[in-house]
Amino acid sequence: MFDPKTYCVVVVGAQWGDEGKGKLVDVLAEKVDLVVRYQGGANAGHTVVTGESQFILQQIPSGILHPRVTCLVGNGVVLDPETFFTELDGLVARGIDPKGRLFVSERAHLVMPYHKLLDRASEKSQNIGTTGRGIGPTYEDKYGRRGIRVGDLRHLETARGLLRERVERANQLLGLMGVAERADLGAHFELVARLAPRLVPLAVDTGLVVHRGLREGRRVLLEGAQGALLDVDHGTYPFVTSSNTTAGGAAVGAGIGPTAIDGVLGVVKAYTTRVGNGPLPTEATDGMGEELRRLGGEFGAVTGRPRRCGWFDATVVRYSVRVNGLTGLAVTKLDVLDSFPEIPVGTDYVLDGHACGEMPADVRVLERVKPHYEVLPGWRKPTTGARRLADLPPQARAYLDRLEDLSGAPIRYVSVGTRRDQIIEV
């Protein structure tokens, strides 16, 4: 992805999340100076396997595992300070030294305990399949212009004043929602007083850091969470997350202009999964879905929830190529398909007997489409040892060629296992 003209690259999930972005960011981080998380919160977990160790990163950019890389939590992220420091302490306990190379945007909004109460209360009525970690209500407050930002903790008195109003409002809402539980103002004061002394020294203008870095010729990776089909504008609304996961969100959430971005890598699984509710046209509802889940270990990294599994959906990835402006694809988990004698690929959707080339905006329409499948021969050989395309069985290469043709973007990486070294650069 990086060449003499490419300094700033976005890594996005091009399906419904969990595509293996953490692994790709970890692999690419070797070549960069800065990694920035640009949206989402502690609901998304990236799993990175380095040698024998496994790390699950929720809010800290995956680049932290590389000692040379500076990591920034961008303004587009909603930061849960409590879990942020738990995660940080966990990394330190495992020998990672983040000193002087982990910073947080002073503009990032804070997830407070009252947001989690509101999240759980609204999930009961809306049933979107959220993780109850307060992400949605924090973004609602951001856009409702009543958020509390990292920079507000610089003045504890100001923060207390804001908390007093917000907690009172949250408790009124909880009452209206018919929930008995209430947010405790004293506990909020205590939390903020305890964490501010650790958080404030990390607070900077992260957009400025990226801007200066690029001007000095440093390489930057912008790391997204979730996937394009969960984008609040472009995803399967309302079964979406509360932020712009797509590449446009990267510029906004990192605090740089879109012209600073040189390339966008879309991470796709060699098949499809989704967590939570909402349509999944190529879902394999027969035993094959179970088999994909078992072989791919398709359970949420943070929540442990089983993921719904199905075949590669080219309509989704074509759409993702378009809305993200993808300049390359990274296909992950090819090895999960190693044992299948035949592999269906959803090439297109059929709606009421007619081909429907584009992704419908309306989930009610998407619920009704039937995928058109092409069945490709499997390879029935392990791919986990392949390090060059030429090492792959011919059927696996044909499978990748077909995915590339159907998707409309070149494949730049193929991942064949969880470990760092299990990657093919095309």
Burial of 76 (0-12, 13-18, 19+ CB in 10 A): buried
Do residues 32 and 339 lie in contact, with contact meaning Cβ atoms separated by under 8 Å?
no
Sheet holding 411-415, edge to edge: 203-204, 102-105, 70-73, 34-37, 220-223, 8-13, 263-269, 328-332, 411-415, 423-425
Q: Given the residues 18, 26, 80, 152, select the one marked as catalytic.
A: 18
Burial of 233 (0-12, 13-18, 19+ CB in 10 A): middle
Backbone angles phi, psi at 381, to 5 degrees: -145, 150
Q: Given the residues 26, 46, 141, 335, select the one marked as catalytic.
A: 46
In whole angstroms, how close is the CB of 22 to ligand GDP at the nearest point? Answer: 3
Nearer to ligand GDP, 205 or 291 (CB): 291
Distance CA 170, CA 193 (A): 20
Nearer to ligand GDP, 315 or 415 (CB): 415
Beta strands 354-356; 342-351: pairing state: antiparallel
In whole angstroms, how close is the CB of 375 to ligand GDP at the nearest point? Answer: 22
Nearer to ligand GDP, 39 or 122 (CB): 39
Angle, CA 292 vertex, CA 287 and CA 293 arms, to 5°: 95
Nearer to ligand GDP, 261 or 267 (CB): 267
Which single residue is written with the structure tokens 């079964």? 239
In whole angstroms, how close is the CB of 138 to ligand GDP at the nearest point? Answer: 20
Q: Site residues (CB under 6 A) for ligand GDP?
A: 13, 18-23, 44-47, 49, 297, 301, 332-333, 335-336, 415-418
| Packing angle of the helix pair 185-199, 156-176 (nearest 10 deg) | 140
Nearer to ligand GDP, 75 or 383 (CB): 383
In whole angstroms, how close is the CB of 338 to ligand GDP at the nearest point? Answer: 9
Nearest residue to 245 (alpha-carbon basis) of 320, 327, 310, 306: 320
CB atoms within 10 A of CB 105: 30
Nearer to ligand GDP, 73 or 416 (CB): 416
H and E: helices and strands count for the chain = 12, 20
Do residues 48 and 65 lie in contact, with contact meaning Cβ atoms separated by under 8 Å?
yes
In whole angstroms, how close is the CB of 378 to ligand GDP at the nearest point? Answer: 16
In whole angstroms, how close is the CB of 29 to ligand GDP at the nearest point? Answer: 13
Nearest residue to 338 (alpha-carbon basis) of 410, 424, 270: 270
- How many Å separate Cα 242 from the centre of its chain? 12
Do residues 80 and 104 lie in contact, with contact meaning Cβ atoms separated by under 8 Å?
no
In whole angstroms, how close is the CB of 255 to ligand GDP at the nearest point? Answer: 22
- How many Å separate Cα 237 from the centre of its chain? 17
CB atoms within 10 A of CB 389: 15
Query: Could you write out the DSSP letters of every residue in 103-125?
Result: EEETTPEEP-HHHHHHHHHHHHH
Nearer to ligand GDP, 49 or 179 (CB): 49
18 catalytic? Reply is: yes
In whole angstroms, how close is the CB of 361 to ligand GDP at the nearest point? Answer: 25
Active site residues: 18, 46
